[in-house]
């Protein structure tokens, strides 16, 4: 019987994903505190600038952070990334004003940019091809779990136990422990791990054309990425889905309150149901893409689940234009969340398929464009809604979200997991 070291590696990576989102999302809950504003002497406008600054550096940091993991190894770089963003979390808790807070959050975004590209690369090295989709779904689930528990845990600690500064110091300290835990468990390849036997090594490498090429890339693969038409399709795909999906984590509570006239408590429950549907989709998506590859091969096995998911999400958004009941709208939004997250493991596995020795950089390239979409959507929503004043009609917004998924579905038809980024 062979060893199962790969499962321990996957567990440590999932724990890092939990901390990734716990540290990222907690600041939104903390920023609501009057003590936070008064202690730092900042306005609501300045808080908005600080919260938005993260997405800017997070998007720009994706490709260079991914390349650094490819070049110097995930065992070196991922603990460094976790350590830096944990330090920034602590520095946020020690901030004495707007400038220090801004610097901490900008650096925080750069450091967090390296986590998922590194995770995508290590899954390629440590999981056999038929299990990469499920492994990707587990790590992605860790991020969703961290984002789900962050508001609840942070609010609980703030209410009865700790100040906002102490909460951030606690989270940052926990991050250092997670970084050490990952470094202790992980090795760059199964052959380097003292506890991974030959049976597990052969299982992991079976059918992988890149398994024997372990030399690190010398240069950032910008030209190959720019020349790759299939990666441009993946970039537009990720931009499109985030153009539509980000509504669910930004403007959804406002829409429920102002359009559906839902009270805040019920609205919070509805938002939780929508996001929980995404978590279920993430867990199912890995199994779906792995089964699809076994039946249709890598070319269509990666593509077809995405096309199906984005078609369903587009139809669900269009149906929102005819739904009067708040709960029927929540069902449609939950379908969007489920379908979107169902496709995420296919995206991860695709980038592992085409990335070769540059998997982390390739992952970062796609993730960068996805985050540009995430940053664009919240800005466009008030523009298209306000354009209908005095009616403030949300119809153009839902057409915008549907258009994003239409673009993603068309791009998914053209991607080819057999076309490597050389």
Question: CB neighbours (10 Å) of residue 94?
Answer: 13
d(CA 331, CA 313): 12
- Kindly list the distances between the CA atom of residue 338 and the CA atoms of 66, 309, 341, 387, in Å, as whole numbers in the listed order: 28, 9, 5, 30
- pLDDT band at 215, cuts 50/70/90? low
Confidence of residue 358 (pLDDT cuts 50, 70, 90): confident
Query: Poorest-confidence range of 74-88, 198-212, 354-368?
Result: 198-212
> What burial class does residue 215 get, using C-beta atoms within 10 Å of its C-beta: 0-12 exposed, 13-18 middle, 19+ buried?
exposed
Give the pTM. Answer: 0.78
Is 350:302 a contact under the CB 8 Å cutoff? yes
- Banded model confidence at residue 305, pLDDT cuts 50, 70, 90: very high
Cβ–Cβ under 8 Å, residues 353 and 289: no
Query: CA 345 to CA 289: how far, in whole Å?
Result: 7
Residue 225 CA from chain centroid, whole number: 21
Confidence of residue 359 (pLDDT cuts 50, 70, 90): confident
pLDDT at 405 > cutoff 90: yes
Taking only the tens place, the pLDDT of each residue in 262-286 is 886 787 778 778 888 888 998 898 8
Q: Which domains does the chain have, with CATH numbers?
A: 1-220 (1.20.1250.20), 223-422 (1.20.1250.20)
Q: What phi and psi values does residue 247 have, to the nearest 5 degrees?
A: -55, -35
DSSP three-state, residue 248: helix
- Predicted local confidence at residue 317, as pLDDT: 95
* Mean pLDDT estimate for the chain: 86
pLDDT in the model for residue 237: 96
Q: Show the tokens assigned to 303.
A: 């593509």
Which segment, 44-58, 139-153, 322-336, is predicted with the most confidence on average? 322-336
Q: Residue 318: its pLDDT value, please?
A: 95
Residues ≥6 apart with Cβ < 8 Å to 237:
306, 347, 407, 408, 411, 412, 415
Task: Please check the confidence at residue 420 and state whether its pLDDT lies above 70.
Answer: yes
Q: Which of 49-63, 138-152, 323-337 has the highest mean pLDDT?
A: 323-337
pLDDT digit string, tens, across residues 161-206: 899 999 999 999 999 999 999 999 999 889 899 989 888 888 888 7
Q: Can you give the pLDDT at residue 100?
A: 92
Residue 387 pLDDT class (50, 70, 90 cuts): low
pLDDT reading at 384 higher than 90: no
User: Ramachandran region of residue 213, left (φ > 0), alpha (ψ -120 to 50) or beta?
Assistant: beta
Which pLDDT does position 107 carry in this prediction?
93
The residue with greater pLDDT, 22 or 56, is 22
pLDDT of 207 > 80? The answer is no
On whether the CB atoms of residues 216 and 377 are closer than 8 A, the answer is: no
| Sign of the C-alpha dihedral computed for residues 138, 189, 361 and 68 taken in this order | positive
Is residue 236 predicted with pLDDT exceeding 80? yes
The stretch 105-115 carries a mean pLDDT of 92
% of the chain at pLDDT higher than 90: 36
With a CB cutoff of 8 Å and minimum separation 6, the contacts of 415 are 230, 233, 234, 237, 302, 303, 306, 350
pLDDT band at 219 (very low <50, low <70, confident <90, very high): low
Cα 169 to Cα 85, 92, 162, 236, distances in angstroms: 12, 8, 10, 38
């Amino acid at each position: 019987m062979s060893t199962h070291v790969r499962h321990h590696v996957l567990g440590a990576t999932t724990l890092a994903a939990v901390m990734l989102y716990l540290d990222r999302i907690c600041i939104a809950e903390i920023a609501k505190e009057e003590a936070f504003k008064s202690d730092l002497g900042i306005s609501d406008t300045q808080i908005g600038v600080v919260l938005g600054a993260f997405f800017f550096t997070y998007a720009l940091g994706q490709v260079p952070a991914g390349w650094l993991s490819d070049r110097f190894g995930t065992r070196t770089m991922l603990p460094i990334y976790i350590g830096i963003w944990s330090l920034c979390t602590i520095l946020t808790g020690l901030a004495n004003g707007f400038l220090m807070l801004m610097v901490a959050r900008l650096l925080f975004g750069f450091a967090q940019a390296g986590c998922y590209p590194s995770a995508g690369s290590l899954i390629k090295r440590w999981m056999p091809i038929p299990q990469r989709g499920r492994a990707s779904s587990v790590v992605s689930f860790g991020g969703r779990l961290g984002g789900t528990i962050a508001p609840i845990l942070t609010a609980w600690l703030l209410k009865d136990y700790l100040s906002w500064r102490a909460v951030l110091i606690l989270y940052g300290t926990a991050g250092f422990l997670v970084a050490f835990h990952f470094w202790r468990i992980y090795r760059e390849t199964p052959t380097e791990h003292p506890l991974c036997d030959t049976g597990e090594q052969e299982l992991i490498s079976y059918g992988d054309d890149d398994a024997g090429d372990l030399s690190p890339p010398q240069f950032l693969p910008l030209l190959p990425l720019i020349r790759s038409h299939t990666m441009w399709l993946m970039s537009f795909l990720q931009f499109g889905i985030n153009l539509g999906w980000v509504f669910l984590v930004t403007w959804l509570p406002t829409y429920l309150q102002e359009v559906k006239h839902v009270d805040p408590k019920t609205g919070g429950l509805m938002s939780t149901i929508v996001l929980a549907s995404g978590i279920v989709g993430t867990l199912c998506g890995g199994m779906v893409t792995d089964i699809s590859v076994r039946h249709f091969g890598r070319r269509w096995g990666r593509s077809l689940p995405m096309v199906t998911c984005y078609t369903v999400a587009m139809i669900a958004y269009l149906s929102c234009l005819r739904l009067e009941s708040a709960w029927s709208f929540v069902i449609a939004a939950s379908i969007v969340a489920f379908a979107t997250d169902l496709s995420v493991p296919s995206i991860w596995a695709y980038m592992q398929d085409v990335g070769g020795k540059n998997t982390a950089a390739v992952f970062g390239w796609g993730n960068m464009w996805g985050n540009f979409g995430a940053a664009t959507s919240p800005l466009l929503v008030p523009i298209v809604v306000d354009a209908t004043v005095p009616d403030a009609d949300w119809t153009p917004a839902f057409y915008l979200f549907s258009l994003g998924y239409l673009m993603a579905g068309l791009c998914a038809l053209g991607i080819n997991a057999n076309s490597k980024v050389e």
